Chains A and B, each alone.
Chain A
Amino acid sequence: MDFEGQATAEKLSRIIITLFGVVGLVWGYIIQQFSQTVYILGAGFVLAALLTIPPWPMYRRKPLNWQPVRDGTESTNKESTKKGKKK
């Protein structure tokens, strides 16, 4: 999943869950059953999970263009490994 895909996925999941929550609240209030509210929210959670947890192709349209690998000189290689170890 690329950066923009991550943003889209998060936005989408929040919209879905909030929407199902609001609809569930209204419906539960109408029929006076709070359990229905919880079930509808649960359905929203499942839908959001299916749509935004797996890295679907729609979230991978703008992959980062990485710099091509250089023919590394030894000194730069050593520095980078040192930095890596410190982290």
Chain B
Amino acid sequence: MHSVLQRGNAILAYALSVLACLTFACFISTVFLDYRTNAGMNTVKVVVKNVPDYSAAREKNDLGFLTFDLQTNLTGLFNWNVKQLFLYLTAEYETANNKLNQIVLWDKIILRGETAVLDFKNMNTKYYFWDDGDGLRGNKNITLTLSWNIIPNAGLLPNVFAHGQHSFKFPDEYTTSRM
């Protein structure tokens, strides 16, 4: 501590240690919070086609199309350790090929400060609903769930499932007309 540089170094090191402690306190203050909340969703229009997937092989696979409604209020999820939420809508179903299929159909980033009250009507999906075979036509039980990934200042990156889900079925016939 006898020179200017030594004192500067000591103060900076101590301030950074304190910053680390504060960040840890911020993490501890939010790690036990329950980030689940209710979300309502519904499907409006559901059709299925059997078309070649040129992005993979050229075999014909089932391709589902759907539009959906989504209502939820995520305002309560934001606190001083949540920078943004990454929402994603997952379709989950069982086919003869696979016991469990999970497809992300839509996602959205909500930054803190943006409006977090969502009320979407008749939304299109962002991503294709490809099955890896013909498991969609006549499938009786497709479950939509909403989840979010919390991006914090410090700490864990939990994936949280919303309360509430919606099950629907695909029609028994392929749609051949253009949409």
List A contacts of B14 (CB < 8 A).
13-14, 17
Interface residues of A in 23-44 (CB under 8 A from B): 24-25, 28-29, 32-34, 37-38, 41-42, 44
Number of A interface residues, CB 8 Å?
A: 29
Given A9-B1, A52-B7, A45-B22 contact (CB < 8 Å): no
Q: B11 interface residue, CB < 8 Å from A?
A: yes
Q: A49 interface residue, CB < 8 Å from B?
A: yes
User: Would A53 and B11 count as touching, CB distance under 8 A?
Assistant: yes
User: Would A44 and B15 count as touching, CB distance under 8 A?
Assistant: yes
Looking at the assembled complex, report how far the CB atom of B38 sits from the nearest CB atom of chain A, in whole angstroms: 22
Classify the secondary structure of B's interface with A.
helix
List A contacts of B29 (CB < 8 A).
29
Number of B interface residues, CB 8 Å?
A: 22
CA A14 – CA B1 in complex, angstroms?
Answer: 13
Looking at the assembled complex, report how far the CB atom of A77 sits from the nearest CB atom of chain B, in whole angstroms: 26
User: Would A41 and B15 count as touching, CB distance under 8 A?
Assistant: yes
User: Would A25 and B80 count as touching, CB distance under 8 A?
Assistant: no
User: Would B7 and A21 count as touching, CB distance under 8 A?
Assistant: no
User: Would A55 and B11 count as touching, CB distance under 8 A?
Assistant: no
CA A81 – CA B29 in complex, angstroms?
Answer: 60
Looking at the assembled complex, report how far the CB atom of A31 sits from the nearest CB atom of chain B, in whole angstroms: 8
List B contacts of A29 (CB < 8 A).
29, 80
In the complex, the chain A residue whose C-beta lies closest to that of B5 is A53
In the complex, the chain A residue whose C-beta lies closest to that of B3 is A1
Set B7, B12, B21, B79: member contacting A9, Cβ < 8 A: B7
Q: 1/0 contact trace for A42-78 toward B, CB 8 Å?
A: 1011001100111100000000000000000000000
Q: Which 5 A-B pairs have the closest CB atoms?
A: A6-B1, A45-B15, A32-B80, A21-B18, A34-B80
Query: 10 new A-B pairs (CB below 8 Å) besides A10-B1, A48-B11?
Result: A1-B1, A10-B7, A10-B10, A13-B14, A18-B18, A21-B19, A25-B26, A34-B26, A45-B11, A52-B7
